[in-house]
Amino acid sequence: MIGTPADIIKYTRAVQIILNGYGGYKKGKRVETDKQIRDEIVRTTIRVRQHMQNIHDRSVDEDNLNIVRNARSCMQEIDALIEDVDKSSSGTQHAFFSGQRTISNKDLKALIVHDHEMIEMVTNAVNLSNDSERAQQQGSDELTSTIQRCHQMISSCRGFYSERSTLLNGLNS
Kindly list the residues in this chain that would bind another protein in the complex (CB under 8 A).
35, 39, 42-43, 46, 53, 56-57, 60-61, 65, 68-69, 72, 76, 79, 82-83, 86-87, 90
Least Å distance between CB 83 and another protein? Answer: 8
> Is 8 or 85 the residue whose CB approaches another protein more closely?
85
User: 102-105 long-range CB contacts below 8 Å, 24 or more apart?
Assistant: 102/172, 103/3, 103/25, 103/27, 103/30, 103/171, 103/172, 104/3, 105/3, 105/5
> Is 9 or 80 the residue whose CB approaches another protein more closely?
80
> Is 10 or 39 the residue whose CB approaches another protein more closely?
39
The Cα–Cα gap between 130 and 50 comes to 10
Least Å distance between CB 51 and another protein? Answer: 14
